[in-house]
Amino acid sequence: ERQQAGNHVRTAASGRAEGQPGRALDEVTKLFESVPMDSEALSEAQVIRREILDEQSTQVAALQRDLEEAEFFTTRGGFDRVVSGVDELIALYGERNVEDLAGALALQVKARERLLAIDKATYEVQRTRLVALADAFGSVQQPALQKLVTDYIARHLNGK
């Protein structure tokens, strides 16, 4: 059991060192479940776990700041960073190892909603401009160009 506990700790430490915190946390969980009697190994595993979760907490806090900044400046790139940042966080740690998964997903949902609102506003401006262009082509007897523009509107800007 001591050897097994030591193996779990070494695997967790190597996972952490290799930039695979999810693998490291999985290994710590295996230790807690399979050989929880070795207090020395448990102590080492708890240190690894605490350090990884502190890093994770720092990453989630940075995503929260990115969201707040993106909301303040209404920057599409900031919202994109939050959406992709949460995806990367989950990929790196694994869903079961994200300490506040619901909070991270709530950040992502909020960022996605803001992205949709920004895109909808952009689409409306484009749609208005292109409808005016199609009308202008119609008024100068250019039905082929008018159809080209109305087809583009129908394919790319309707329902957005």
**Residue carrying structure tokens 């940042």:** 85
Per-residue pLDDT, averaged over 98-120, amounts to: 95
Range 53-77 burial, b when 16+ CB lie within 10 A, else e: beebeebbeebeebbeebeeeeeee
Percent of the chain at pLDDT > 70 equals 99
The neighbour count for residue 155, using CB atoms within 10 Å, is 8
Q: What is the pTM of this model?
A: 0.80
Q: Mean pLDDT for the chain?
A: 94
Report residue 158's pLDDT band, with 50, 70 and 90 as the boundaries. confident
Amino acid of residue 113: E
pLDDT at 153: 92
pLDDT of residue 36: 80
So what's the pLDDT on residue 159?
58
| Cα separation, 87 vs 37, whole angstroms | 36
Neighbours of 3 (CB within 10 A): 9
Encoded amino acid at 139, one letter: S
pLDDT for 15-33, tens place per residue? 999 999 999 999 999 999 9
- Give the tens place of pLDDT for each residue, 38-90: 789 999 999 999 999 999 999 999 999 999 999 999 999 999 999 999 999 99
CB 34 within 8 A of CB 6: no
What letter represents residue 118's amino acid? I
- pLDDT, average across residues 134-152: 95
Q: How far apart are CA 150 and CA 138, in angstroms?
A: 11
Confidence of residue 118 (pLDDT cuts 50, 70, 90): very high
